Amino acid sequence: MTNAGSLIRLAMKLACAGAMLAMPVISVAGGASASLAGTWALVAADVEHPDGTRGRDYGAAPSGLLMIDRAGRYSLQIFKAERARFGSGDKRSATEAEYKDAVMGSSTHFGTLEIDPASHTLVFHIQHASFPNWEGEQQKRTYELNGDELSYRVVARPNGDVPISVWKRVD
């Protein structure tokens, strides 16, 4: 074996290893991503307060979709039903209150999803979000999957509130 041949093989191995490390983690072995793959409709978007009481985080009748493909890519949208329409009819010329209501009445993001069924943990690798501060973040949620119902708890907010999302499989 020549030194050139050994160097080429080593370079190929390093290139393959580097390519694998550069790929995003999108699922785990054992079909976990397949178990969550599909379309989910929002059932509830609640919030648990530090005193143990529970409220509605996105109003009485929120709507939303969570779509997860078998490769672990996801897209999530949650909307408060009671959002005010812009009086001008033009999203470029709204009042400060209308803009605030639009932002606070929605949560959208997409990226890849890592699933650890042993610890009941979802990790959202957020590529883009309606709240730009989340872009590039990894957010963990403790989840439960009971038949066609998926629920998860978001990490507590600075004020101690814990958002809870409940989804029902629709396909």
| Distances in whole angstroms, Cα of residue 169 to Cα of each of 1, 55, 119 | 57, 23, 22
Of 85, 54, 3, residue with least CA distance to 166 = 54
Q: How far is CA 49 from CA 61, 156, 162, in A?
A: 19, 9, 7
What percentage of the chain exceeds 90 in pLDDT? Answer: 75
Band of pLDDT at residue 2, cut at 50, 70 and 90:
low
Q: Which residues contact 51 (CB under 8 A, 6 or more apart)?
A: none
Does pLDDT of 7 surpass 50?
no
* CATH 3.30.420.10 matches 25-169: no
Is the pTM higher than 0.85? no
